[in-house]
Amino acid sequence: MVNDVKEMIRRRFGGLSLDNRGSALVSVVAVAIFLSVIATTILYISGKNYQIKANDYQNKNTFYQAEMALDELKGALAADVSDAFRFAYEEVMPEFANLDNGDNRNKDFKNYYFDYLFYKWTGATKYDTDIPGDVVTHVAPGDESLYDTVSNFASSLPDFNTCFIKYTKEEAIALGDEAMCIAWDENKPGRFIIKNVRVWCTENGYTSYICTDIALDPPSYYMGVTKPPAGGTPGPQDTEKEKLYMGDYILYMNWHKY
C-alpha cells in the first residue's frame, strides 16, 4: 500500500525539479537595496550635521562681530578713564596735606573722577565739581538723546557705528526694554555707568543681538600714607609701583545676548 502511494506521487510529481537559477540575482538586489537605505540614512544624517555646524558657525560669526564692536567702544572709553584719573589726581593732590585722612582723600578722588566722566557725557556734574572750560564733552550739538551722544563719541569707530542700535524712547517701551541712560551705583562710589548699550550684526540671514551696561570704575589708587614714620624706612608697599591699566576698569555688567 505504501509503495503504491509512493509510486503515485513519483508519477505525478516526478517530472518537477527545483530550479535555483536567478536566486543569486535576487540576493544581490536585496543587499543593494539594504545598502542604499543605509547610505541614504548616513548621507541624511551627515547633511543635517553639516547644516547644524554651518548654522552654528554663522551664529557665532555674527555674535563675535557684534562683540567686537563692543570691544571697540570699550577701547575708546579707556581714554576717558585715563583723563578722569589724571583730573581727579590733580584735584586731590593740592589738598593732600589738608585731607589728613586717606579715606577722605579717596572719597574726593572718586567724586572728582565720576564728575569728570559725568560731565563728558552729559555736560553736567553730580558733585558740583568745577570742570575746566577746555574740557570738551561728547554731547552732540543740540543733542536730546544719549544715542546721539554715543554716536558722536564713536564717530571714528567703524565696527561700532555699523552695529550700534538706536532706539527712541517709544521704541524701547514698545519692545519692553529700557532706553539707554547714564547712571551711577550708590553701592560703588565713583562708578559711572552707560546703561543698555545695544549692538547687533546681521550676515547671510543670521542676526545676533547683545545688550550690556558698561561700567567705568575708579582705578584702585588709594591715597594713604605719604612717607614712613620718623626714623623708619619705607616698606614694600611704599616703594613698589603698581601699574594701572585703564582697560581693567571698564567692565561689562548685566550682559546678555538675545
Q: Which long-range contacts (CB under 8 A, 24 or more apart) does 166-172 make?
A: 167/198, 172/196
pLDDT at site 77? 95
Q: Identify the CA nearest to 176 among candidates 187, 184, 167.
A: 167
pLDDT digits (tens, 9 = 90+) for 56-67: 778 888 889 999
Whole-structure pTM value: 0.72
The pLDDT score that the predictor gives to residue 206 is 86
Question: What is the model's pLDDT at position 131?
Answer: 94
What nine digits make up the cell of 182? 547714564
Short-list 83, 66, 71, CA closest to 214: 71
Least Cα distance to 69 among 155, 164, 203, 160 occurs for: 160
Query: How far is residue 64's CA from residue 156's CA, in Å, rounded to a whole number?
Result: 20
Q: For residue range 157-193, what is the model confidence (pLDDT) as tens digits?
A: 999 999 999 887 677 777 767 788 899 888 888 899 9
**Torsion of the alpha carbons at 159, 193, 246 and 157, rounded to the nearest 10:** 20
Predicted confidence (pLDDT) at residue 232 exceeds the cutoff of 50: no
